[in-house]
């Protein structure tokens, strides 16, 4: 049985994940953003252009599913359409993270998917991380394009932009982001040593099923 969080618990999770995203090197400055689905169907978001280290619960912004601000004194992230599109299209999701993780963004810039060559990647991400078509940052088009890729996996690269990860909670989306970034670095380094050796197809099929069950 799923455990329902209170609004205060979801808000606290969004703030914690935002700060951990900075500490983990997934973002720099005020880049990136985090969201969490509230029990009433509204969404709590990090605000636009505010330093994560000084961010408090009072700085978070709550919007309705259409993006209208219903609580908070700040402007929500300029990428609110990205978060809302994912949460609207996939009702099982409870958290979305947009980050500019260094190695993952390198793959996004050259528009190359991050291959699934490690078993845990298949289990927790659901397979290769694809690259969504380029759409202008902050646009509704970007939200619609990126959200269609995360129906059967936990991450997608946004061309020439960065990384989008999702999960049943903000913390789960953060765990996926950390794993994708670590794997992107491993793949980048492994390619300096020689060609990648893929996992057996049977392994991929078995573990991707585990991801779908957990999701």
Give the model's pLDDT for residue 151: 92
Give the model's pLDDT for residue 1: 35
1 domain residue, yes or no:
no
105 domain residue, yes or no:
yes
Which residue segment(s) compose the domain that 150 sits in? 7-214
Q: What are phi and psi of 114, to 5 degrees?
A: -90, 115
Q: Quote the number of domains for the chain.
A: 1
2 domain residue, yes or no:
no
How far is CA 103 from its chain centroid?
15
- For residue 145, what is the domain's CATH number? 3.40.225.10
58 is catalytic: no
Q: Which of 58, 79, 145, 201 is catalytic?
A: 79
Q: Is 68 left (phi over 0), alpha (psi -120 to 50) or beta?
A: beta
Give the model's pLDDT for residue 2: 46
34 domain residue, yes or no:
yes
Instruction: List, for the chain, all residue ranges whose pLDDT scores fall below the cut of 70.
Output: 1-3
């Amino acid at each position: 049985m799923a455990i329902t969080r209170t609004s205060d618990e979801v808000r606290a999770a969004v703030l914690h994940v935002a700060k951990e995203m900075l500490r983990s090197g997934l973002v720099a400055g005020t880049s990136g953003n985090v969201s969490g689905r509230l029990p009433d169907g509204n969404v709590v978001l990090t605000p636009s252009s505010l330093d994560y280290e000084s961010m408090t619960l009072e700085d978070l912004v709550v919007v309705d599913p259409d993006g209208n601000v219903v609580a908070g004194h700040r402007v929500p992230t300029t990428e609110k359409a990205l978060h809302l599109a994912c949460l609207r299209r996939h009702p099982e999701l409870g958290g979305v993270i947009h980050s500019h993780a260094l190695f993952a963004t390198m793959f996004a810039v050259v528009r190359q998917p991050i291959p699934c060559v490690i078993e845990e990647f298949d289990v927790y991400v659901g397979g290769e991380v694809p690259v969504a078509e380029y759409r202008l940052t902050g646009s509704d088009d970007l939200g619609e394009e990126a959200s269609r890729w995360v129906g059967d996996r936990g991450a997608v690269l946004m061309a020439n932009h960065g990384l989008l990860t999702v999960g049943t909670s903000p913390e789960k989306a953060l765990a996926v982001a950390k794993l994708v970034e670590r794997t992107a670095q491993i793949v980048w380094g492994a390619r300096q040593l020689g060609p990648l050796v893929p996992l057996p197809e049977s392994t991929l099929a078995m573990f991707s099923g585990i991801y779908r069950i957990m999701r």
